[in-house]
Amino acid sequence: MSHHNHSPHHEHHGDSPCHKGGPEGDSQFHYRGGIVPTEAKPLTYEEVNKTVLAMLEPPTYRWWLFLGLCLVAVAIGGVSWTRQILNGMTEAGKSHPDMWGGYITTFVFWVGIAHSGTLISAVLYLFRAHFRMPIYRLAEAMTVFAVLTAGLFPLIHLGRVWYFYWLMPYPNERAIWPNFRSPLLWDVFAVSTYLTISSTFFIIGLIPDIAVARDAARTKFRRLLYGITSLGWTGSHSQWKHYTAAYLFFAALATPLVVSVHSVVSWDFAMSIVPGWHATIFPPYFVAGAIFSGIAMVITIMIPLRRIFGLERILEPKHFDAMSKLILLTSGILTYSYGVEFYTAWFSNNEFERAQFWFRPFGEVGAAFWGMTFCNCIFPQLLWIKTLRTNIPFLFCVTILINIGMWLERFNIIVQSLSHEYIPYSWGWYNFSWVDVGIVIGSFGWFGMWMTLFVKFFPAVAITEIKEILPAPRRTADAHH
């Protein structure tokens, strides 16, 4: 495929609303990118502009309601965190030996969610997988906001959060540096690098679309907002030239991060000697899991947005079909990884590993293990059935279950392992406290708040890139004003 020879701008001057798509009822178009639209009639450029920009229309009460809900959740989280800072970690349900519990579980959960954005936007971009076009913007936004959310948890879980900056290698008169051998420090760098690159990539991708929004903006505030954030985008040929180069560059830069971030997060566990953590399979296992959960989360978010904003013609069933296949693939990898953990425990003849992997399914909280297995390994197998892959309500169920299952996976890894270590006298258990729950709720509110604001302020579907996979409009007499 020669995508770049067919840049969306070489037949028009950027995506300004004055370009009203192709002719109505024109049945002659050629397909680009090899994706055959399932609907007979493709979208026109104008329809794309209209549909996407309609999302930015003044909000309805439902939007306000949802934003309000998110803010309430954020407030719950804030109150919980404040309580914890004032009264100490005793407010959380952790214990000896479960020094990490809900927070790190939720941290890994959000880092995992943050994965798919970069995968969809960067990796699939490099692989020229065009089904990514309508999806990637949302996925990227999700990535950035999920990292923003995940990044809170290492802070929340600190015993003395007011000294969080000691984890940074900043020059100080005592010449004390952080311990570069500690996986937690690697985490700091991995997550902050990921946040920097993914948000830069995200913002760059947004520029042409913001320009579209700018040109269509009716209020002074929006003109100002988009005027600044579009960074003077005019859609000139040279801008596109540099833009595509930069985009490719960032895609290339972000791609290794897909692998590295979650690998580093997995080292938090794999580098320790806790039975159930100390395993070489962790990095690929975590990356696969992250992609799995990320894609599930993208679908979970896209389904209601598609309905609310009427994006049915942009987010077509074929896109869901493609993503379902990714879910099937990663579910398979994950199931294999789970199996390898058990196999290794048995094959190593290490009594502590064996005890741990006996404990997970058959211990006090085997339910968490079986819940995970059902949600991540068994139920997604139904996606082998083609009709189910495009059955939107079913997909919604699958992805919700996967989200739960992936949270449980991290819970199993973290809490179950810590609960059942070397010294039987010190076996213990972790119980959620209201503060834990409040903070997890708060994290969903925080994430939801950013997503809600984002879809109202910025184009949540990539206008320019959608057009890449549409038939180019033909210049006709009646089509031009």
Partner 1 sequence: MSNAETPTVVMDKDILSDSIGAGQSRAAEPKVEGQTPTAKGGVSRRRFLQIVGATSAGAALAGCADDKSQLLKPRVKSEGGQIPGVPVWYSSTCTECSAGCGISIKTVDGRAIKVEGAKDHPVNGGGLCALGQSSLQSLYDPDRIRQPLKRTGEKYGVGQFAPISWDEALATVAEQLGKGGSESVFLTGEVSGAHLALMQDVSRELKIRHTVYDAMQPIALTQAAERVYGVREIPQFEFGEADVIVNFGADFLETWVSPVEYARGWAKGRRRELPAKTFHIEPRLSLTGGNADQWICANPGTEVRIALAVLKEVALRTAGANVSSELRTYIAGITKGVSVASVADEAGITAAKIERLIAELVGAKAPLVLAGGSAESTERALELQVLVALINTVIGAVGKTVLVGQGRRVDSSLEGVTALVDRLNEGAVGTLVIHGTNPAFTLPGDLSFRTAVRKARKVVSLATHLDETAQLADIILPSHAGLESWGLHTIRAGVYSLQQPAMAPVFDTRDVGDIIISLVTMLGVTLPQAGTEGSFRAYVKDFWLSISETWKRGDDLERFWHESLAKGGHLVKEAPALAEAVTVDALPTAFAPPHFGDHRSSHEELVVYPFSSVKTFDGRAANRPWLQELPDPMTSAVWDAWVELHPDTAAALKVAQGNVVAVRNHFGELRGPVLITPYIARGVAGIPLGQGHTAYGRYASSVGKGNVFDLIGRPKGGTLPLVSARAEVSRIAERHTLVTLAGSDSQHGRGLARTTHLTAAGAPLLAHNEHGSSHGGSSGHHEPKQMYEQREHPVYRWGMAIDLAACTGCAACVVACYAENNIPTVGKELCSKGREMSWLRIEKYIDTEGHGEGEEFTVNFLPMMCQHCNNAPCEPVCPVYATYHNEEGLNAMVYNRCVGTRYCSNNCSYKVRRFNWVDIEVPEPLSWQINPDVTKRSMGVMEKCTFCVQRIVEAKDTAKDEGRFVNDGEIQPACAQSCPTQAIVFGNLNDPDSRVSKLSGDKRAYKVLDHHINTQPAVSYLNDIKYRL
Structure tokens at 70: 């998110």
Residue with Cβ nearer partner 1 (62 or 181): 181
Complete DSSP assignment for 351-389: HHHHHHHHHHHHSTTHHHHHHHIIIIIIGGGGGGSHHHH
Residues near 285 by beta carbon (within 8 Å), at least 6 away in sequence? 266, 279, 333, 334, 337, 340, 341
* CB 352 to partner 1: min, Å: 7
What is the greatest pairwise CA distance in the chain?
84
The CB-of-307 to partner 1 minimum distance in angstroms stands at 42
CB of 86 to partner 1, least distance (A): 10
Phi, psi angle pair for 469, to nearest 5°:
-100, 10
Q: How is residue 174 written in tokens?
A: 């005592």
Tokens, residue 292 = 């799995």
Residue 160 or 386 having the CB closest to partner 1: 160
Which residues of the shown chain bind partner 1 in the complex (CB under 8 A)? 87-90, 93-100, 154, 157-161, 163-164, 166-167, 176-179, 181-185, 188, 268, 271-274, 349-352, 355, 418, 421-429, 431
Closest separation between CB of residue 426 and partner 1, Å? Answer: 4
Residue closer to partner 1, measured from CB, 348 or 381: 348
Q: Which is nearer to partner 1, 155 or 385 (CB)?
A: 155
In the complex with partner 1, the residue whose CB is nearer, 60 or 90, is: 90
Query: Alpha helices of 88-151 — where are they, by DSSP H?
Result: 102-118, 124-126, 133-150
Q: Which is nearer to partner 1, 39 or 364 (CB)?
A: 364
- Cα 376 from Cα 291, distance rounded (Å): 12
Residue in 55, 12, 45 with CA at minimum distance from that of residue 234: 12
Smallest separation, CB 339 to partner 1 (Å): 22
The nearer residue to partner 1, 63 or 166, going by C-beta atoms, is 166
CB of 272 to partner 1, least distance (A): 5
Q: Give the Å distances, CA to CA, from 480 to 9, 25, 46, 97, 212.
A: 17, 16, 12, 71, 18
Minimum distance of partner 1 from residue 94's CB (angstroms): 8
